[in-house]
Each structure stands twice: as C-alpha cells, then as structure tokens.
Chains A and B, each alone.
Chain A
Amino acid sequence: MAQSPPNRRKSRYTADRNVPGAFEGETVTRRAFMTGGAMAAGGIATAAFALPALGFALGPILEDTTPERWQDVGPEDDFDDQTYVPKVISLAPQIGDVGKTTVYVRRHNPQRDTSNEDLPYVAISTRCAHLGCPVRYFQASRRFVCPCHGGVYGFQGEVVGGPPVRPLDRFYTRVRKGRVQLGDRFSLNSKLERFSPRDPSNHLDGLWQYLYPARPTT
C-alpha cells in the first residue's frame, strides 16, 4: 500500500485500491457487500416484527375510541332549570360498572346560562378538570366540589376556586320524543366556548390552548 500513489487510493474501483482479490470494474468489495447485505437483512427482519408490535401498542392513540352515540337519561319532566339531577351514563360499555359515570343534568336556563344556547339541556361531566376525580354537586351552595384536591366550580361549571385549569366538561344534549339524550363530551374554556374534548389538566385559554391540541382519539 505504501508504494501506491495517494490519488490511486481514492479511486472508486477496488482493483485500483489494491484490495486483495479485486475484480476488474468492481467498486464494492465482496466482504463489504456481504456485510451490508447481512445488516440490511437483519434490519428488515427486525423491522418486520418490531414495527407491527409498536403500531399495535401505539395504535389506540390514532383511532377514535369514543364513537358518537346517544344515551337516554329520562323524560323531560325529570329535569328543571334550577337544580341538577344526577344521571348515570356509560362511557365504556364493554367493561360494565367501571365504565359508568355520573352526569349532572338540568334544563337550559336563559337567565343564568350565558353560552351554548343551541343545547336544550346542560349536562355537566363529573370528571374534575384538574386531574379527573369525580366532583359532586351541592344544591345549598350551588357548587361542584372535588374531593381530591379541593377544586370548586360554580352553577355553570365555571372554576370558582382550587387548582382546576378550565370549567367542567359537558355533554351534547338533545330531545327525542320527549326524552332527554346525551351525546359526546366537549370541553369549554373560561368563557364557556366549546372545544373538542381534552384531558383534565389541559388548559384551553390564551396561548396555553396551543400546547394541548385536539387528539384523534376523541
């Protein structure tokens, strides 16, 4: 190798580079070709099981797991516009009692409600907007209170105190044949404007809302 001039080493032909056993016109040594081929085969074999497994684990992030469905919660006579009535609906029907949740329902009250006039009923989710514990409604103080970290919400579900970052979520409502039905969940910012459903703890005001985007699952 020492005798060969420096410019000959840069040649793309193995024969010019004095590689032992080089063929005429060969640019890649057989050893390098076999090494690369074995690496590529190993990489393809690894990807063949690793990628499907990864997709299997991550798939639920990308598919809509809460398909639209309407659930009956009782006749219109059950509700008035001054107090909430607790009703139970199912969020995950396949897992029995674990998938059920309480929802507080009342009729839309034009004097009190400042937003969402298109929905005939107000259905407040009991999932605290702080970290998801179940809130409870107290008619005496017209407040929703969370037992975990002391979040307090007013009559419309707006934050009055404690750590929650946004008002309580709601469900879409409609009336069919005199019966009240609840649909999908939606989230609200502090002005009670509607957003697609977000996880608890996700802000929806100011610049914060862009850090917590809508997700494909909801």
Chain B
Amino acid sequence: MKVPSRSRRKGLRPTRGQPGSRDGRNGPEGNGAAAPGVKEQAAEAGASIVGWLDERTGASPFLRGFLFRKVPKGTNWYYTLGTATMFAFLSQAVTGVFLAMFYEPDPTRAYESASHITNDVFLGELVRGMHKWGATVMVVLIFLHMGRTFVFGAYKYPRELNWIIGVVLLVLTLVMALTGYLLPFDQRSFWATVVAVNINASGPVVGPYLADFLRAGAEFGTTTIARFYAIHMLLVPVAIAALIGAHLYLVAKLGTTAPPWLKAEKKELLKEEI
C-alpha cells in the first residue's frame, strides 16, 4: 500500500536535519548565522516535540498508514456513522466520569444524589442531560451504522469477523442502556428494571439464575444498585473500549468497501471492454 510520504503539516516539520547531522546553525561549528529569535524558537518547539516522540515511538509510519489510507471511490457521508458512534461513546465516557464524582450508588442515596447533580451542581444539569440524551444518540447511531453496513454489503468476506465484533458491541451498548436506566432510581427506572430483570428470568432453566445474579439475590436488595453501577461503569465500558480497538484495527487492515452501486458500474465497463 502506497501512502503519502509527507503527511505532517508544514508548521510541524522540523527545519533542522536529523539527529547527528550538522546544519551549521547549532553547535560549535556555527558560522555566525543570526541566532533564532524567540518567535522562531517557539515555532520550532512544536516540531521538535513531535520529532522527539516520533523518533522514540515510530508513530508516524503507523499513523500515516492508519489515517491516510486509501478509501474506495464513492465513499460518502454514510461512512461516517461508525466514527459518529465512537464519538458518542467517548462523550458518554467523559460525561460519565464526571457524573460518577457526584453519584452515590446506594438505594437510599441514589435518587437524592442524582437530583443533587441536576439541581445544585454547577453545569450538572447539562452534563447529566448530555449523558442521558447521548445514550439515546449512541443507540440510534449504532443501529444506523449497522444498517449502513448491511445495506452496503460491507459485512461480507473478509469482514465477517468485524461484523461479529460489531454485534457484540451492539449488545454491550444495550447492556449499558439497561444498567444505566436504573441509576437515577426514580419510580420509572425502578419498575423498568424490575420488568427487565424478570424478562431475563423468563428464560428457561438458566433465566432464574441470571435474574438472581443481576439482583444479587431473590429480591431487589442492598447490592442490586451497586451491582448495576459496577457493570455500568467498569465492566462493560472497558469491554467496549477494547472491542472498539479491535474493530478499528480490522477496518484499517481490511479497508472499507465501495458502495454497491459502484460495483455494478464496474461490471458494465468490463462488458464493454470485451
């Protein structure tokens, strides 16, 4: 795969040579050229930091391959739905961390602490609102992304594994939606969770045990909300982040597909050639 050799923006390219080379401006062999002014030095600082990191991590060949890979003709706005879903997840992660600083996962304190976030904390209403509506946005986007993949046939060989990872991500996102729904701990979230846990219990043989695991016992008790909270902010987010990494790796490795209508055009061309 051929990639552009110089991707760094002009301002970030080092004006000096490689380490060890002598460009005549520095070092004992300086031949009296004017010392760089403050402005030039400041401009150089960014480039030298990037260069320092690049030299030690080898990041730039990787990033060039990852960010400047070729995409098929016909790539359009529908191809941005996956990225949009990822940014919805990142937004949920950031707002969730800040909500966790005020939220108390205790049956007697949960509702009050959630009200406290909304009513008293500076910008709390905004952050909680972003988290609440962002959850809906993320579920909508993940389904649109899945629909795009299906309709464009992008799940076919060799991308089946990426489809499977995507389905697991969809399920995990819905687990997030379910476990997060309980946390405000008002009447609606309590009874919705009771119903959801009992839907789990309706599965034959293992269902009742699954419900016992979710409730941590036969009745909704002391541990239930803490358990949902731990699943919501530790277990599933880590799994989602790791699987997004795998998902992206496969996208970069396998490339994206052209829209199906372009393939049809190509076939016609082949006919004409014959």
A85 surroundings in chain B (CB, below 8 A) = none
Which residue of the partner chain A has the closest CB to B211? Answer: A199
A197 surroundings in chain B (CB, below 8 A) = 218
How far is the CB of A167 from the nearest CB of chain B, in Å?
16
Does chain B have a CB within 8 A of A173?
no
Cβ of A211 and Cβ of B205 under 8 Å apart? yes
Within 8 A of A (CB), among B215-272: 215-223
Does chain B have a CB within 8 A of A140?
no
Which residue of the partner chain B has the closest CB to A165? Answer: B202
Contacts from A to B (Cβ < 8 Å): 57-58, 60-61, 65-66, 91-92, 94-96, 98-99, 130-134, 148, 197-202, 211-213, 215, 217-218
Q: A61-B213, A95-B221 are in contact. Are A199 and B198 (CB under 8 A)?
A: yes
In the complex, which of the residues B108, B199, B212, B220 contacts A217, with contact meaning CB atoms closer than 8 Å? B212
Additional pairs, 14, CB under 8 Å, beyond known A217-B212, A217-B217? A60-B213, A60-B223, A65-B216, A65-B218, A65-B219, A91-B219, A99-B107, A130-B198, A131-B195, A132-B195, A132-B197, A199-B201, A211-B204, A218-B218
Cβ of B107 and Cβ of A212 under 8 Å apart? no
| Cα distance, A133 to B220, chains bound together (Å) | 13
Cβ of B195 and Cβ of A133 under 8 Å apart? yes
A212 surroundings in chain B (CB, below 8 A) = 204-205, 207-208
Cβ of B194 and Cβ of A99 under 8 Å apart? no
Contacts from B to A (Cβ < 8 Å): 107-108, 190-191, 194-195, 197-199, 201-202, 204-205, 207-209, 211-213, 215-223
How far is the CB of A208 from the nearest CB of chain B, in Å?
8
Cβ of A99 and Cβ of B221 under 8 Å apart? yes
B222 surroundings in chain A (CB, below 8 A) = 92, 94-95
| Cα distance, A96 to B219, chains bound together (Å) | 14
- Can you identify 29 A-B contacts, CB atoms within 8 angstroms? A60-B213, A60-B215, A60-B216, A60-B223, A65-B216, A66-B217, A91-B219, A92-B220, A92-B221, A94-B222, A98-B108, A99-B219, A99-B220, A99-B221, A131-B198, A131-B199, A132-B198, A133-B195, A197-B218, A198-B208, A199-B201, A201-B198, A201-B199, A202-B201, A202-B207, A212-B204, A215-B208, A217-B218, A218-B218
Which residue of the partner chain A has the closest CB to B201? Answer: A199
Cβ of B201 and Cβ of A133 under 8 Å apart? no
B108 surroundings in chain A (CB, below 8 A) = 95-96, 98
Q: What is the predominant secondary structure among interface residues of chain B facing chain A? A: helix
Q: A60-B223, A201-B201, A211-B205 are in contact. Are A98 and B216 (CB under 8 A)?
A: no
B209 surroundings in chain A (CB, below 8 A) = 61, 215
Which residue of the partner chain B has the closest CB to A62? Answer: B212
B190 surroundings in chain A (CB, below 8 A) = 98
B216 surroundings in chain A (CB, below 8 A) = 60, 65
Cβ of B219 and Cβ of A92 under 8 Å apart? yes
Cβ of A65 and Cβ of B221 under 8 Å apart? yes
In the complex, which of the residues B107, B195, B205, B208 contacts A95, with contact meaning CB atoms closer than 8 Å? B107
A218 surroundings in chain B (CB, below 8 A) = 218
Which residue of the partner chain B has the closest CB to A149? Answer: B195
In the complex, which of the residues A66, A91, A213, A217 contacts B205, with contact meaning CB atoms closer than 8 Å? A213
In the complex, which of the residues B191, B197, B198, B212 contacts A61, with contact meaning CB atoms closer than 8 Å? B212
A200 surroundings in chain B (CB, below 8 A) = 198, 201
How far is the CB of A204 from the nearest CB of chain B, in Å?
12
A95 surroundings in chain B (CB, below 8 A) = 107-108, 221-222
In the complex, which of the residues A132, A133, A213 contacts B208, with contact meaning CB atoms closer than 8 Å? A213
A92 surroundings in chain B (CB, below 8 A) = 219-222
Q: A58-B213, A95-B222, A202-B202 are in contact. Are A148 and B208 (CB under 8 A)?
A: no
A98 surroundings in chain B (CB, below 8 A) = 107-108, 190, 220
Which residue of the partner chain B has the closest CB to A218? Answer: B218
Cβ of B191 and Cβ of A60 under 8 Å apart? no
Cβ of B213 and Cβ of A66 under 8 Å apart? no
B220 surroundings in chain A (CB, below 8 A) = 91-92, 98-99
Which residue of the partner chain A has the closest CB to B191? Answer: A133
Q: Which of B204, B208, B223 has the most CB of A within 10 A?
A: B208
Cβ of B212 and Cβ of A60 under 8 Å apart? yes
| Cα distance, A71 to B209, chains bound together (Å) | 27
Which residue of the partner chain A has the closest CB to B195? Answer: A131
| Cα distance, A128 to B274, chains bound together (Å) | 71
Cβ of B205 and Cβ of A215 under 8 Å apart? no
How far is the CB of B218 from the nearest CB of chain A, in Å?
4
| Cα distance, A134 to B194, chains bound together (Å) | 10
How far is the CB of A171 from the nearest CB of chain B, in Å?
13
Cβ of B191 and Cβ of A94 under 8 Å apart? no
